[in-house]
Each structure stands twice: as C-alpha cells, then as structure tokens.
Amino acid sequence: MSNPHINDTHNPSMKSWVESANDPATDFPIQNLALCAFVAEHDGHTHGHLGVAIGDQVLDVSMLAMSGALGDPEGDMAYMLHSPAWNFVAATPHVWGDLRARLQEFLREDAAGGQRMRRLREKALTPIAATKFMLPMTIFDYTDFYASKHHATNVGSMFRPDNPLLPNYRHVPIGYHGRASSLVVSGTPVRRPLGQQSPPDGEPGAGPAFGPCKLLDYEMELGVYIGAGNRLGEPIPISRAAECLFGMGILNDWSARDVQKWEYQPLGPFLAKNFASSLSPFVITMDALAPFRTAGPEREAGDPQPLPYLRGSGDWALDITVEVHLLSEQMRRRGMSPVRLSRGSFRDMYWTVDQLLAHHASNGCNMQPGDLLGSGTISGRAPDSRGCLLELTWQGNGPDGKPLPRKAVELPTGETRTFLADGDEVIMKAYCEREGFRRIGFGECRGVVMPAPVLA
C-alpha cells in the first residue's frame, strides 16, 4: 500500500469472531475499534471501564487488561487501562498503536481459542444497546471553531449580505473558548435554555425580554480530541500534528439563536452556546481514520495562501460523511422512523484539523490530553448539506435586501420546523467509505429537547 498512513491494521479482509463486526453496514468493524468508556458493575459496585466498540458489542478493555490478555497485568499499559477515561493512553504517543494491534489480535477470527479464552470472550462483551456510556475522555477545555467557509458565508449573508466574510476569515481559523462542564454524552436530554432576547425589530424603544429560547437549533460538528500536548509558552508546530491529534467524535453544539443574536457582539458566543453540547460516546482514532485522509480543498482564486505556520503536509482533510436526522415527539408516538434533514462532507471544510491545532497553540497555549476542538458547523455548497436549521431554512434576501421568509422543513406527520420544538430528538451520524477499505462509522449522537425550566 502506497499510503504512508496505512498498515496491516487496515487490512479490509480481516474478520472478527464477533459476527456482527463482519456486517458490511456496521459502523464498528475490527478495522475501526472505536474507543468508549462505560459503567461496569462488579459485586454490587459500579466502576468506570474502558472499552472498544466491535460490531453491535462493547469489548471491556479494562477487564482484558486485568486478566493479562493484553500483556503484563502489572505493567504500564494495564495501569493506563485501569483509568475510567482514555486520557492516559492518548497522552503517550505510539501506545495506542501497540494496543490497537493487540486488540485486533484478540478479536481476529483466527485468534487462539481454548476454554479460558472462550470464557473471557463471553465475559468481556456487552451489547451496545445495553451499555451505559460515559464521556470517553475527561475534557478539561473545549474550543469551538468556525472552519466551514460555506457555513460562515451563509451565516454572514444573513447579517452582512454585501460582505458575508469578514477580512480575517481567509487568513486565520476563527474560534472561541467554550465550556467543558456542559459537554454531555449522547442520550442525555437537553433542556431548552432561558435567556435574554433582543427587542422586537419594529419596536426600537422596547427593552429586551427574558424567557425560554424560541429559536433553538442544532449544529452538526465533529470534535477533535487532543492526545500529546505541549508546555505553556511552547507552540505546537504543524509538523507535530500526527502525535497531538488522537481521534474524533460527533459533536452537536446546541445553539439558542435568539439569545445569540442579542449577546454575541462584541465578544462572541456566551449563554447561547454553553447550556449543553452533546458528544457521541465513541472516539474514532486517527489511526482508524488514516485511509480516509485526503488533500484539503483547493483555495478559490483570490484567496490567500495560509501563513507559513499553517502550512502542513496537505493531507489532513478527512473524507467523512455527516448526516442529521430528526424524530419529533409525534413521529415517535406513531412509531415512525427519523427523517434525514441533511447530508454533508467534512472534506469540504476550509480549515483542516492540523491547522486548527497549530493555530490554537501558536501563541503557546498549553493543550492537554483530552482537550476538545469543535470543528464548527459542517456545511457544503448544496442546500441539503447545510448542518443547522439556521442555514437549512434560510432562503436568502429579497430585492429589497430584507430576509425572505424562512422555508420550514416538512415532516412526514405534516408538522413543520424552522427551529426545534420540545420533544424533538436530533440524531447525528458520521461514516467513512473508500474503495479498497472497510467502511467505518462514528455511531450516533442523540439528544431530546426538554421543556425549559420554570422560574419560581
């Protein structure tokens, strides 16, 4: 194989004794080994354990480490795998590569058998559907970027139709610091936030209102997990991206658009964003994603080339398809399937993941294992690739320069949506496909909108 990032762990003919992992449609073949953390129960006590998704099962990696199936049960690797999060493994370059190979050896269809091994296999597997997941990594800091030029142009057109992109966008990856404490694992209900909203446009003398968000939205993003970090004051050169970028997961950065409109100037997002952001329970490692690395998008005529510190190897764009589905409360009651709202591609992003990292640390900001970088909304050129309702229902401005009425999304029940209603469940998916390699997926990121709290 000519791709320098490919090795034997990507062999598409490799199969597992876990039969569901051999299904061509699975997100989690043996070539993926998506990382997760979950609640395990022993002797009436619960503990956080580390696992990998394989087919429709979770393999208890912590249990394997304690049993000696992955090497010395008293060794450094076993110690790392006793942790309830993957930070220790992520922080140590090349450890995951070794562990990935050992796990594949354990899971291979032709792996050594024996009575003890058969008992261990049975004991170490739990159905994904019956697993209580936790966040896969302890996240100390969270930064959200604005890396899609299509998204930035669409949103800019709503407020600055004559100049959608600000002068700095083509030169610098734009981001803001989020709040790690309100990151929640997929399946956690999300309560509609309260907040201040701007005075009505037709009542310039009126003051702002406070109450439940009326324009609640989702944002289809991917999150990038940091592995090895850096000391405070020491930038990370873009050439070190491979050792510092550990993996990725689906991120839904819920957004209160009416609160955001009122508060975002002059310092950017605040309460409109930090009430909740949902993360899928799985980390898809950069090793698993290696076959899907590709050249970044070509810059349009007139766009400047990145400054030298942002010029990397050129192949850190990732060919990942992303989808957003919606299941309303009425659809759920009627036993209907979710409806797909959009499908886009992460390879369309203007700024690539290595550039996000290099810029973030260029001033000496210290990155820590487990830090999360959000990509920003993933949108493409096509209207059905837009990754949020703010864009999806936007029809542009009329001849008078004023916004046209939003075009509501029609659901199979006859319901319509311009923004989310209470009871709506947003379901995000992502996957990679390339000829000559096994399809791999990211699982799902789900969240149901709950009614706003009632103030006493």
Smallest CA-to-CA distance from 362 within 305, 315, 313, 312 is with 312
pTM (predicted TM-score):
0.96
Does the annotation mark 151 as catalytic? yes
Say if domain 8-134 classifies as CATH 2.30.30.230.
Answer: yes
Where in the chain do CATH 3.90.850.10 domains reside?
Answer: 142-450
* Residue 439, pLDDT score: 98
Smallest CA-to-CA distance from 121 within 74, 29, 54 is with 54
What's the one-letter identity of residue 187?
G
Sort 6 into a burial class: Cβ within 10 Å, 0-12 / 13-18 / 19+: middle
Strand partners, 37: 50, 134
CA distance 270 to 42: 41
Which residues, at least 6 apart from 12, have a Cβ–Cβ distance to it below 8 Å? 31, 436, 437, 438
**Terminal alpha carbon distance of the chain:** 65
| Residue of 10, 151, 325, 360 marked catalytic | 151
CA distance 354 to 230: 15
Which residues of the chain, if any, have pLDDT below 50?
Answer: 1
Contact between residue 375 and residue 277 where contact means Cβ atoms under 8 Å apart: no
Smallest CA-to-CA distance from 364 within 229, 177, 235 is with 235
CA distance 230 to 329: 46
- Superfamily in which the 142-450 domain is placed by CATH: Fumarylacetoacetase-like, C-terminal domain (3.90.850.10)
Task: Extract the runs of DSSP E, i.e. beta strands, from 110-182.
Answer: 125-127, 133-134, 142-145, 175-177
Angle at CA 175, nearest 5°, toward 174 and 176?
145
Within a 10 A sphere around the Cβ of 223, how many other Cβ atoms? 26
Where in the chain do CATH 2.30.30.230 domains reside?
Answer: 8-134
* Residue 4, pLDDT score: 78
* Residue 2, pLDDT score: 60
What's the one-letter identity of residue 200?
P
Contact between residue 328 and residue 413 where contact means Cβ atoms under 8 Å apart: yes
